Chains A and B, each alone.
Chain A
């Protein structure tokens, strides 16, 4: 049952992204920003956490889940004061960002773009 919810919610979030890309004139980077911000706002209103409990990776793997992790980190940091807030967002997402930057940079240096077929 958990797997079903993961599939449905994960797929559903992707469909929202697809509709935004197809039906509006928004460029892809803007769609990504909107999705991340929606995750931040929903978690700030404490609405995203229930979705994560229901759908697990279905809610955390799509980009709103990235916004959720940022907001959750900052809000949980607030309990230990303003320093906690400042550290929180990046602390919660440090592994993903670090790997994306370092591994991505290494790969970009090692490989060349393929000509479109």
Chain B
């Protein structure tokens, strides 16, 4: 019992000790960058969507093509290197749009390729995307089941 208390004390003491040295992120600057890059990506996507529709494409197909395009560009930029540089400044502005999801697949897969192309690259493709897909699909299907049950009555 006594030992546990001591351990907690040390943890609290350490937290207090490192606090003055921990760099505080520049909140306002980060938020402005996130706002403008995120907003720009969405606006460009909307513009591309409208141009495709003017070219005679159905809305659903245009939306799909735009999403696919963002994913492909983001992954290519990740593979070639510039994505990291952009993300350092733009932060959530490129992480929160679907580009961040795309980036989170390629980056660890490249990193762990040396562990093999199946259990290295193949498995690490899902380090971040896995949890996102698992939680998303489970929750969405649960919602669908609730609607289905509600529709039975």
Contacts and interface: CB of A to CB of B under 8 A. Distances in A.
Contact of A29 (B40, B70, B76, B131): B131
> Most chain-A CB neighbours within 10 Å: which of B40, B133, B151?
B133
Nearest to B98: A61
Nearest first, the 5 closest Cβ-Cβ pairs linking A and B are: A14-B38, A10-B42, A74-B144, A11-B39, A108-B109
A50 B104 CA distance: 29
B15 to A, nearest CB: 11
A21 interface: yes
Interface residues of B, number: 75
Contacts of B66: 57, 61
Given A17-B92, A28-B128, A44-B146, A89 B67 contact: no
Contact of A61 (B42, B91, B104, B141): B42
Given A32-B104, A78-B148, A103 B72 contact: yes
A47 interface: no
Given A37-B135, A37-B136, A3 B96 contact: no
A10 B70 CA distance: 15
Contacts of B137: 70, 89-90
5 contacts: A36-B135, A66-B132, A71-B143, A74-B147, A88-B144
Interface string B69-106: 01110011011110010000001110111101110111
Main secondary structure of the interface of B (DSSP, over half): helix
Contact of B133 (A58, A97, A104): A97
Contact of B100 (A63, A84, A103, A111): A63
Given A15-B34, A29-B128, A41-B143, 10 more contacts: A3-B43, A7-B42, A10-B42, A37-B135, A62-B42, A63-B97, A88-B140, A108-B79, A109-B113, A113-B107
